[in-house]
Amino acid sequence: MERSGSQLPVGPADLLSGSPIAPLGEPAVATPVESPCVSTCRIDPATAICTGCGRTLEEIACWSTGTSHWRAEVMTALAGRLADLKPRAGR
């Protein structure tokens, strides 16, 4: 899968690098986790992105254990991803 824009983790190899996961011994989340989920889960087969929230399956899976910084980076990317998906919806 290609990366566009910022270099967010997009696959298992990225997740193993420690990018979104809090280090062992440190709390992953100190405050309640803000989530972009809108309970409209459908993965676009062409992009592997949820058409409801704009996250990848890997981002969804790691959301509750991701660092605040990583989640903020993902949140920043979501509007652009969803805008890119809109033209596909009309096909």
The band of 85, judged by pLDDT with boundaries at 50, 70 and 90, is confident
Q: What is the pTM of this model?
A: 0.63
The pLDDT assigned to 86 comes to: 79
Whole-number CA gyration radius for the chain = 13
47-83 residue pLDDT tens: 999 999 999 999 999 998 899 899 999 999 999 999 9
The model's confidence at residue 34, banded by pLDDT at 50, 70 and 90, is: confident
- Calculate ∠ Cα 51-64-29, nearest 5°: 140
